[in-house]
Structure 1
Amino acid sequence: MPTPPAPHAAARAATAVERAAAALARLRRGRLLHPAGRSFTGEVLIWGTPGPPTGVHLLDGPGRYRATVRLSKGTPTPGGWPDVLGLALRMHTEVGRPFDLLVSSSGAAPLLRNVPLPRRRFTGTYSTIMSYRVGRRRLWLAALPDPDSVDLGRGLAELAAATRAEAPRMVIAVASAVGPWRPVGQVSIGDQLSAREDAALAFDPVGNLPAELRAAGPLTWLRDQTYRGSRRARGATVSPAAR
């Protein structure tokens, strides 16, 4: 879908898409996207960017951040059936808005990192699918499996059991369109949140970004309106103080 052209036409189209998303979310009685999932406390440890800096201060310098992590199924398929799996990561920064990073199950290779791929197991590669822009450069982010971490299992029940056994970890990485993934940190998954806390969580993958980073690509506009409609239908709000 192309980027909406004229301001008035864009406003009308945005309203229409948001209302449609809200209506579908009400029919589903929950999230329109990735309705079934589990949410956890977490911690992000940023080591810093190896090699050339990305231009994003939060990724280029070392830091430790409180986090909220949600792992989910893209559609309500039964049990451990193949699905496009999702990982939503909120890094709670000390000043201003949080950083909401939403990644989907994909391939690790350059040609597959922007293609959502269904799979059964929660351990695997998750990428941003759509790129970001830092100045004139494009950037992809990913959550990669940590070979020394416990397996996250197959299906939501196994996922919850894995997190009770020990704190699973995933590696946060960045890449250009064709370059290799460069690890910049890790996220540790902690205690599971209640069902009420999970239902109240609301992520904003377009608005909650570091100042240097902006979502890019023709589907960014559509994604923004769809998430707005889904949040509105649930009565959920995005707040820096959110879990």
Structure 2
Amino acid sequence: MRRGTRAGMTATTPSAVERAAAALARLRHARLLHPAGRTFAGEARIWGTPGPPTGVPLLDLPGRWPATIRLSKGVPTPGGWPDVLGVAVRLHRDPEPPVDLLWSSSGAAPVLRNLPLPRRRFTGTYSSIMPFRAGGRRLFLAVLADPESPDLGRGLAEAGAAVAADEPRLVLAVASAVGRWRPFGEVRLDDERGAAEDAALAFDPIGNVPPGLRLTGPLARLRDDSYRGSRRARGAAVSRAARRG
């Protein structure tokens, strides 16, 4: 009964974190997190996890979906100054709900996977920062630079120019807390969307997790409330995926 009562209250009463996030987003007239960005259409191609399966269908089984990709700067700093860079991908899996995956620039080594690291260029490793749970295991997801792909360059303007000139690719990978990255697919960027579409786009990294994965604990609740407050302040609607909690 207590859990049900709390869930019902959460659905109607914003938490203190959500209210604070909404106030800050209204103050800056933009997203609370990663306000400066560019949005692109593209495609995700999944070929499956090499080696032992993870038990997560989206990672283990071949698939192909239209995708919306957003490259962003976290603070943001001016021009090509160092910043915590972001990559967000929405997989459109009609008639199933979409999947939202978000990554921040980080280190590739196990000890650096949960630490956001400032960077000048849209290259290198982007980690989910927070680990996912798949059954009893912890998994990190990552986006890695493809050495055979055109470079996305430094800053958002150069990234937009790179997509306009070619079809850059990013590699999708998974790893345990201490294991090596195992590529399981790729994302291609092929068409930039307008500023209005970028402003209206609203990701839900907690509610729109891939089936078979989950984010739990205080940090997951903090992230959920922060994104919820930011969306509420912008009047942005979440895509039609079922909410979890």
- Please indicate the TM-score interval, normalised by the length of the shorter structure: over 0.9
Query: Partner letter of residue 180 of structure 2?
Result: P
**Which secondary structure does the structure 1 equivalent of 2:123 belong to?**
coil
Alignment of 1:123-202 (within 5 A): 123-202=123-202
Q: What is the alpha-carbon distance in structure 2 between the residues aligned to residue 122 and residue 141 of structure 1?
A: 17
Query: Partner letter of residue 57 of structure 1?
Result: P
- Match of 2:81? 81
Q: What is the alpha-carbon distance in structure 2 between the residues aligned to residue 240 and residue 163 of structure 1?
A: 28
Q: What is the alpha-carbon distance in structure 2 between the residues aligned to residue 122 and residue 69 of structure 1?
A: 13
Q: What is the alpha-carbon distance in structure 1 between the residues aligned to residue 216 and residue 150 of structure 2?
A: 34
Q: What is the alpha-carbon distance in structure 1 between the residues aligned to residue 85 and residue 232 of structure 2?
A: 23
Cα separation, partners in 2 of 1:13 and 1:132, compared to 1, 3 Å: farther
Superposed displacement of residue 217, structure 1: 4.4
- Cα deviation digits, residues 91-127 of structure 1 (max 9, x gap): 1112332110000000011111111000100111100
Contact 1:206 1:220 survives alignment (8 Å): yes
Structure 1: runs of 5 or more not aligned: 1-5
Contact 2:58 2:211 survives alignment (8 Å): no
Contact 1:96 1:240 survives alignment (8 Å): no
Structure 2: runs of 5 or more not aligned: none
- Match of 2:212? 212
- Match of 2:234? 234
Q: What is the alpha-carbon distance in structure 2 between the residues aligned to residue 122 and residue 13 of structure 1?
A: 39
**Which secondary structure does the structure 2 equivalent of 1:215 belong to?**
coil
- Match of 2:24? 24
Superposed displacement of residue 13, structure 1: 9.4
- TM-score normalised to the size of structure 1? 0.93
Alignment of 1:54-93 (within 5 A): 54-93=54-93
- Cα deviation digits, residues 151-208 of structure 1 (max 9, x gap): 1111111111111110100100000000000000000011000000000000000000
Q: What is the alpha-carbon distance in structure 1 between the residues aligned to residue 30 and residue 23 of structure 2?
A: 11
- Match of 1:3? none
**Which secondary structure does the structure 1 equivalent of 2:44 belong to?**
strand
Superposed displacement of residue 7, structure 1: 4.3
Q: What is the alpha-carbon distance in structure 2 between the residues aligned to residue 224 and residue 67 of structure 1?
A: 22
RMSD: 1.8
Q: What is the alpha-carbon distance in structure 1 between the residues aligned to residue 165 and residue 123 of structure 2?
A: 15
Superposed displacement of residue 210, structure 1: 2.2
Q: What is the alpha-carbon distance in structure 1 between the residues aligned to residue 174 and residue 105 of structure 2?
A: 15
1:96 aligns with 2:96: yes
Q: What is the alpha-carbon distance in structure 2 between the residues aligned to residue 202 and residue 74 of structure 1?
A: 15
Contact 1:131 1:217 survives alignment (8 Å): no
Q: What is the alpha-carbon distance in structure 2 between the residues aligned to residue 218 and residue 76 of structure 1?
A: 26
